[in-house]
Amino acid sequence: MCGRLSQYRGIHDFVDTLSMPEAWRNNVGDAPLGRYNVAPTTQVAVLRVDDAGPRVDLVRWGWRPHWAKDRAEPINARVEKVAHGPFFRAIWPHRAITPVDGWYEWVDEGGPKKQPYYIRRRDGRPSLCASIGQFSGNEHNGFVIITADAQGGMVDVHDRRPVVLSPDLAVEWIAAAMPSEHAEQIALNLGEPAQTFEWYRVSTAVGNVRNQGPQLILPITARDT
């Protein structure tokens, strides 16, 4: 996962996907987010559950432990290592869902620039990405999206993909009482398969983080690039 995504629907659209009966504390607002080109280190809407119930917050995309000041903040965590490696040990118990409309990958197709692709669910629903983070309400807050090996034809676009969960599994993922071992098995084995998604070429304009708007996710032909 190359590190660019879209979140253009409203929070209610994302929350409704989970079909949770509890009232959500919405700290983001009701208007559509309208973000078609979301970059790392910016604030991203995440869904999680704390002692008071479900909540929606804007959280910085990227995190590192306090002792790892010699490296850049990762934005993703490899599912094969995240549950047991020392780097993410402190935040592994703090699970969240990052709901996205889609994400971008760049592919070297032999041209002067890499070709961006947009990836989204075929059924038009949001992708519910398994995430973990620090949500302590201070400057150390941040989150990462868990990634796995790509499958099927998606390998031609990128060798990694976010772990996208079904709505039922997403609800389990953020449940406060779920054992860590069960969370690991969900992330390792139960992500949505490649056939759930579609991917297509989009304009190279998405490479500039200042560019926004629905035109960024429109499909183009090879002749348009």
- Backbone dihedral angles phi then psi of residue 222, each to the nearest 5 degrees: -60, -30
Question: Strand, helix or coil at 102?
Answer: strand
Predicted model pTM? 0.95
**What does the pLDDT read at residue 71?**
87
List Cβ neighbours of 45 (8 Å cut-off, separation of 6 or more): 7, 11, 14, 28, 33, 56, 57, 58, 98, 99
pLDDT in tens, 124-137: 999 999 999 999 98
**What does the pLDDT read at residue 221?**
78
Residue 29 corresponds to which tokens in the numbers above? 């607002």
Nearest CA among 183, 40, 27 for reference residue 103: 40
Give the CATH number, domain containing residue 170: 3.90.1680.10
pLDDT at residue 217 is higher than 70: yes
Letter for the amino acid at 139?
E
Residue 192 vs residues 72, 120, 127: alpha-carbon distances, Å: 29, 12, 9
State how many domains the chain has.
Answer: 1
Question: Catalytic residue at 2?
Answer: yes
Nearest CA among 83, 97, 75 for reference residue 189: 83
Residues linked to residue 131 through DSSP beta bridges, in sequence order = 96, 145
Instruction: Read off the pLDDT band of 69 (50, 70, 90).
Output: confident
**What does the pLDDT read at residue 223?**
46
pLDDT at residue 79 is higher than 80: yes
Tell me which of 105, 139, 172, 198 is the catalytic residue: 105
Domain boundaries, position 205: 5-224
**What does the pLDDT read at residue 1?**
67
Tell me which of 2, 22, 129, 172 is the catalytic residue: 2
Average pLDDT, the chain: 94
The count of C-alpha atoms lying within 13 angstroms of the C-alpha of 43, restricted to the half-sphere facing its C-beta, is 9
pLDDT at residue 75 is higher than 60: yes
